[in-house]
Amino acid sequence: MMELLWLLLPVAAASGWLAARRTARHDVEPERAVTFSSHYIKGLNYLLTEQSDRALEVFIDMVDVDPDTVETHLILGSLFRRRGEVDRAIRIHQNLVERENLDPAQRANALMELGRDYMKAGLLDQAESLFKELIQLGFLQADAYRRLRALYERERDWANAIWASEQLCEFSTEPQNRRIAQYHCELGEMARSKGDAPDAGRHARKALSFDQDCARAGILMGDLALDDANPRLAVEHYSRVMRRDAGFISLVLPRIQDAFTRLEDARGLESLLTELREQHPSEATSLALALALEARGRLDDLDTLLREEMVRDKVSLKLLPVYLRLKAQRNAATADALSAAIGMLDRYLEGHVCNICTQCGFQSRTHFWHCPSCQGWATIRPVDSLIDQRPETCLTPP
């Protein structure tokens, strides 16, 4: 009930403003002003007593009373939509759109709200038609293109999403290049899944033409090179991504390790990881280098690396199992106890959040290029204690 009262505040404010406006106007008969006020009191009372259908009938009937009520009806329709009563919102907005006494701007606002209702209800074809109608009428064009863009994203219609974004540039200064690059990556990945490498490569290059720092496009180029049995070219693409954006290193590492394995060049991988650790410190790079040294049996070099890591301001928990394995190898008397500790750490880290949206805070163990929560693109990044300074994966030395 309290939530409903808060939602009704805009309605009450609008109603009060309209009532005052009517009282001040000399061309409005007092009887009509009283009728207006009594209708709204009656409608609001129905809402407060959870009689939404009866309230709806009162508000719809009031459009016949005076076109000045249009703005308040738009607020009421929005209220119903926010409460999840989309069918009632549609009735209010449809009723407004059908009125002949609305001026063009009022009708455009009603069309926009009705389109939003259809979107909420999943009636995407109807919503698309209304947004396009608004564009043709020359009203609310920037907002209509944004809504169309969101609609095409929902349908995974990336070609039309590109079109809507490009059209939006004519009506808004909002940058579109990075978003369009992501759409091309979507198309590229679809083409790759179908075995159409030339089309996939074309979209990856197109993405980079819109956003030269697009990590996803660089990764796709590397994947295509691996598909084409060209691991050396793949290393070039992957290493370029890692050098440009350390935040995505952990996504690229398994791929570039695969490429170096195919090249039978363990030393080359170690050299790249050493360079990245020095120039772009990250938890993922340090861990990968530690594991590479451990695999090659270079325990002295591993010990040196881990000692350097342990004196950082924050120590990554992910490095501790490697450190404890090293200690167990060098001290057989404590091997059993250390093995138990390693198992506990591994289980603890398995339950950790691996990715977080830098825009809305959404957390997931799976990486998404498109945030399911805020719909941001390339805003979800792997959690890395040395980059994000997140306490959940770090220990602060005393």
**Per-residue pLDDT band at 335 (split at 50, 70, 90):** confident
**C-alpha to C-alpha distance for 287 and 163, rounded to whole angstroms:** 43
- With a cut of 70, say whether residue 63 has pLDDT above it: no
Strand runs (DSSP E) across the chain, as ranges? Answer: 315-316, 355-357, 363-364, 380-382, 394-395
Model confidence, pTM: 0.80
**Claim to verify: residue 260 and residue 301 sit in the same structural domain:** no
- With a cut of 70, say whether residue 196 has pLDDT above it: yes
**Per-residue pLDDT band at 302 (split at 50, 70, 90):** confident
Range of the domain at 389: 352-397
Q: Transcribe 332-393 into DSSP letters.
A: GGGHHHHHHHHHHHHHHHHTS--EEETTT--EESS--SB-TTT--BS-EEE--HHHH--GGG
For residue 172 the two structure tokens come to 């808004």
**Claim to verify: residue 374 and residue 340 sit in the same structural domain:** no
List the CATH number of the domain containing 233.
1.25.40.10
**Claim to verify: residue 61 and residue 155 sit in the same structural domain:** yes
Is 107 domain-assigned?
Answer: yes
Is 340 domain-assigned?
Answer: yes
**Claim to verify: residue 181 and residue 159 sit in the same structural domain:** no
**C-alpha to C-alpha distance for 173 and 367, rounded to whole angstroms:** 30
* 384-397 pLDDT tens trace: 765 553 433 433 33
* 18-52 pLDDT tens trace: 445 544 554 545 554 445 456 665 566 665 555 65
Mean pLDDT of 341-364: 79
Is 3 domain-assigned?
Answer: no
* 208-239 pLDDT tens trace: 999 999 999 999 999 999 999 999 999 999 99
